[in-house]
Amino acid sequence: MNIKTTLTEDSIPENYYNIAADLKEPLSPVLHPGTKDPVGPDDLSPMFPMELIGQEVSQDRYITIPDEIRDIYRLYRPTPLYRARSLEKALDTPAKIYYKYEGVSPTGSHKPNTAIAQAYYNKREGIEKLTTETGAGQWGCSLAFACAKFGIDLDVFMVKVSYNQKPYRRAMMEAYGANCIASPSKYSEVGREILAKTPDSTGSLGIAISEAVEKCVTDSNTKYALGSVLNHVLTHQTIIGQEAMEQLASIEEYPDTIVGCTGGGSNFAGIAFPFLGKSLRNDESIELRAIEPSACPSLTKGKFAYDFGDTGGMTPLVKMHTLGSNFIPSGFHAGGLRYHGMAPIVSHLVNNGYVNPESYTQLDVFKAGLLFAKNEGIIPAPEANHAVKGAIEAALRAKESGENKTILFNLCGHGNFDMQAYTDYFEGKLFDQEYSDEEIGMALSGLPSV
Amino acid sequence: MNIKTTLTEDSIPENYYNIAADLKEPLSPVLHPGTKDPVGPDDLSPMFPMELIGQEVSQDRYITIPDEIRDIYRLYRPTPLYRARSLEKALDTPAKIYYKYEGVSPTGSHKPNTAIAQAYYNKREGIEKLTTETGAGQWGCSLAFACAKFGIDLDVFMVKVSYNQKPYRRAMMEAYGANCIASPSKYSEVGREILAKTPDSTGSLGIAISEAVEKCVTDSNTKYALGSVLNHVLTHQTIIGQEAMEQLASIEEYPDTIVGCTGGGSNFAGIAFPFLGKSLRNDESIELRAIEPSACPSLTKGKFAYDFGDTGGMTPLVKMHTLGSNFIPSGFHAGGLRYHGMAPIVSHLVNNGYVNPESYTQLDVFKAGLLFAKNEGIIPAPEANHAVKGAIEAALRAKESGENKTILFNLCGHGNFDMQAYTDYFEGKLFDQEYSDEEIGMALSGLPSV
């Protein structure tokens, strides 16, 4: 009875897959926040090394992964692909449920896939320090690990609500040698302004991004790194889907439906894009489901419009599904999904009908995660519970229709650092939050005019 | 550049290896706590199912692993074998350092290897509930996971100092459906007695065992499960060493030195016994290093004598290295190594010169663990830091002597649930504790006369 499909190190992909090469309609240009003209490399070079700026706008289908990066990937890649046989049985579904498990990385999520790449390219261009933000802490820990491997200093601005909910994440960043700061903080102009207005601010990813961007510009020989949203980040994550495709091929399977959770969009892109690219090239169709929390419903209730990536309006303007850069979601537990915007490419694909978004409430996704844990052993991260919920719903639809669907989802991380959320769930302290159209409309009224 | 060696599910061992079959000198018998005569199956049957009692005294070299157990092992086995190339480089050692990583199990340590087996054998004999104790929580979580898989109820008595240090472990047990109780508790006679005398007792594994044993005898259709020490537990863990042997063989390696940390002895036995058995059968020698904390030095400072396994004197008497069953070690962070005794087989092997014990202080092992984390990515559990320290010392000895040694150690678990310990280390709150001969002598003066 086959449960998991493992590959040897030789099967770590040799290229990142860049879906820009296969899109039928071009992406909208990124605009300068001041002039509102399309940005060029010079506009981005204060924040990113040239190689990553090149990848951000590349139209090449494949980008070779340097050996130095692949050597670090060997620490945890290829990640296993599992068949969730116990869960299938518990659901009494004719569907086959496969999941790719990224929690075997040292920091417990898919985030090192891009952290290692970003640290490497910065190091190669002589950068000595990086700044970044983190929500749940998965990204901050992953970049801290990557910076330790390449000898780069790191400041991480961590959304205050998560900083307090997840002290172990802070300890992990410090174990790798990084400096972790609760955001909003006194260490940036934008942080000081927000604290002056709202001293009790629990922070948001948008604010933390503003702080990290400001710090990278003011500190010497320092660049900024982002853990999701941008094209090059999504491209790095495609090693997930490439491996999954090889693993499924080795057992003569191919998915009908692919499910991932979406905060900034990178883990979803990572599992889905290699399959979607194949479909686009061959004019075939594949069902893609992007699952988001109903408490931060950028894809299901947001607007597809130009907006800032951060709260302070320091980043370029990108066309994406957004709730408005001043939207501060409630402190629900899936911190990694608590972002007002969405990756431009994922937004573009939703807008063009290639990806179907769904939203679920916090209590429903924790219930799904616990059913998964009791059957499959792994306790998922709150973010990953959304993907679990989406996969379960897909399996139940297959049961309803009697179809032998093959479902693949990305279990992007384990919940070892998120157990307080489970304690809160057991103690009845978790609540659901949904926003009225009026509330969403209010938040959206502040969108910049372009 | 090879970093890790993976095996497919087909390579999960088909048998547990029982070293009793290869011992040159027989083990001392286990004695009844009242009569002090050797115990028989009837004496043990209130606590354990017959199959496990049989395994406890078996002289068969191999015990077939039932398919139902192997099917659950597939969730995380075979575990990867790594070569610590970055650590080797950091140490500038000619030695090759390999480590077997058991942290990929759902609960993050080697403990599910025996938890799954024990839950299965109990279920097969119709048992509906188990009781157990846990120190750091790794065993309690693992048995909770195993009981969830087989539909068995579970009460876990968790040493109070760990219960408070590691709330996430409690949450994990509850996620799997188990009941977790801080020990000493009001739920047992022995717990109530200790609380009456010392209301602030931070507990010990010895006390928690007494509580769990008492509860198993008083509740209906309930047995008891132990996570280490006993012969059958060590036997279950030998799948670790068997896999490591196959993995090393696949890259044409064989270890000169094997290192493991020892609390009750099971993870050390798991990695070492298959290799030691081969050496015993072939009259070859192999260097085995058992690493323990200097704050609980049963092998290096304890006495090889008959003692109780618990504080309440409810368990049978076993001959082992012990600090006395009333010894309550300070609340240092490697809770899984905070046990007054040691597995009888490991003790026997130390006494006969097959295994060399070493002890290190808490600060030294955390320093070693952080060096490992920065180089290899994985942040080890505090217990596993001891094995890391032992392996580093072995590698430095090889550097000193200029020998190309091959070192294998067991990285028995990750530190995701132990990050408070790292925070305490960074904040200077961790302290070293060593005991004088007089203090040890005092504790040993209470050994039962046999």
B431 half-sphere exposure, CB direction, 13 A CA radius: 5
Is the Cβ pair A423, B104 closer than 8 Å?
no
Which residue does chain B place closest to A104, by CA atoms? B104
Chain A partners of B422 at a C-beta cutoff of 8 Å?
Answer: 171-172, 174-175
Q: What is the pLDDT of residues A253-293, one digit of tens each?
A: 999 999 999 999 999 999 999 999 999 999 999 999 999 99
Please tell me the predicted confidence (pLDDT) of residue A314. Answer: 84
Mode of pairing for the β-strands spanning A96-101 and A81-83: antiparallel
Structure tokens at A415: 């919940």
Closest approach of chain B CAs to the CA of A106, in angstroms?
5
Which of B1, B3, B372 to substitute to test the interface with A, most A CBs within 10 Å? B3
Please tell me the predicted confidence (pLDDT) of residue A79. Answer: 96
Higher local confidence (pLDDT), A435 or B262? B262
Please tell me the predicted confidence (pLDDT) of residue B436. Answer: 87
User: Which helix (H) or strand (E) covers residue B359, if one does?
Assistant: strand B356-360
Q: Each residue of B249-285: b (16+ CB within 10 Å) or e?
A: eeeebebbbbbbbbbbbbbbbbbbbbbbbbebeeeee
Q: Which of A326-330, A342-346, A351-355 has the lowest mean pLDDT?
A: A326-330
Please tell me the predicted confidence (pLDDT) of residue A169. Answer: 94
| CA–CA dist B302, B331 (Å, integer) | 19
Please tell me the predicted confidence (pLDDT) of residue A1. Answer: 65
Higher local confidence (pLDDT), B346 or A10? B346
Which of A12, A113, A174, A427 to substitute to test the interface with B, most B CBs within 10 Å? A174
Would the pLDDT of B338 be above 90? no
* Cα-Cα end-to-end distance for chain B: 57
What CATH code is assigned to A3-8+66-108+232-444?
A: 3.40.50.1100
Please tell me the predicted confidence (pLDDT) of residue A144. Answer: 98
Would the pLDDT of B165 be above 70? yes
Closest approach of chain A CAs to the CA of B340, in angstroms?
29
Angle between helices B382-401 and B362-376 (to 10 degrees): 80
Chains A, B: CB contacts under 8 A, how many?
A: 125
Is the Cβ pair B373, A176 closer than 8 Å?
yes
Would the pLDDT of B376 be above 70? yes
Share of chain B above pLDDT 90, in %: 85
| DSSP label at residue B26 | P
Q: What is the pLDDT of residues A99-135, one digit of tens each?
A: 999 999 999 999 999 999 999 999 999 999 999 999 8
Chain B partners of A76 at a C-beta cutoff of 8 Å?
Answer: 377
Q: What is the pLDDT of residues B261-299, one digit of tens each?
A: 999 999 999 999 999 999 999 999 999 999 999 999 999
| DSSP label at residue B109 | B
Would the pLDDT of B135 be above 90? no
Mean pLDDT of B121-148: 96
| CA–CA dist A117, A54 (Å, integer) | 14
| CA–CA dist A178, A168 (Å, integer) | 14
| CA–CA dist B217, A119 (Å, integer) | 57
Please tell me the predicted confidence (pLDDT) of residue A370. Answer: 97
Mean pLDDT of A140-151: 98
| CA–CA dist A435, A437 (Å, integer) | 7
Would the pLDDT of B210 be above 90? yes
Would the pLDDT of A205 be above 90? no
**Is A10 in contact with A326 (CB distance < 8 Å)?**
no
Which residue does chain B place closest to A379, by CA atoms? B106
Q: Which three-class secondary structure state does DSSP give residue B82?
A: strand
Q: Which of A248-257, A281-290, B312-321, B385-394 has the lowest mean pLDDT?
A: B312-321
For residues B439, B441, B444 and B445, what is the CA-based torsion angle, rounded to 10 degrees?
-110
Is the Cβ pair B374, A148 closer than 8 Å?
yes
Q: What is the pLDDT of residues A42-67, one digit of tens each?
A: 999 999 999 999 999 999 999 999 99
Chain B partners of A422 at a C-beta cutoff of 8 Å?
Answer: 171-172, 174-175
Please tell me the predicted confidence (pLDDT) of residue B230. Answer: 96
Mean pLDDT of A244-257: 97
Q: Which of A15-29, A132-146, A421-435 has the lowest mean pLDDT?
A: A421-435
Please tell me the predicted confidence (pLDDT) of residue B1. Answer: 65
Residue boundaries of the structural domains of chain A: 3-8+66-108+232-444
Q: Is the peptide bond before B329 cis (omega within 30 degrees of 0)?
A: no
Average pLDDT, chain A: 95
Would the pLDDT of B79 be above 90? yes
Question: Cβ–Cβ contacts within 10 Å for residue A13, how many?
Answer: 21
Closest approach of chain B CAs to the CA of A95, in angstroms?
20
Please tell me the predicted confidence (pLDDT) of residue A329. Answer: 80
Chain B partners of A424 at a C-beta cutoff of 8 Å?
Answer: none
Residue B442 carries which side chain, given as an amino acid letter? M
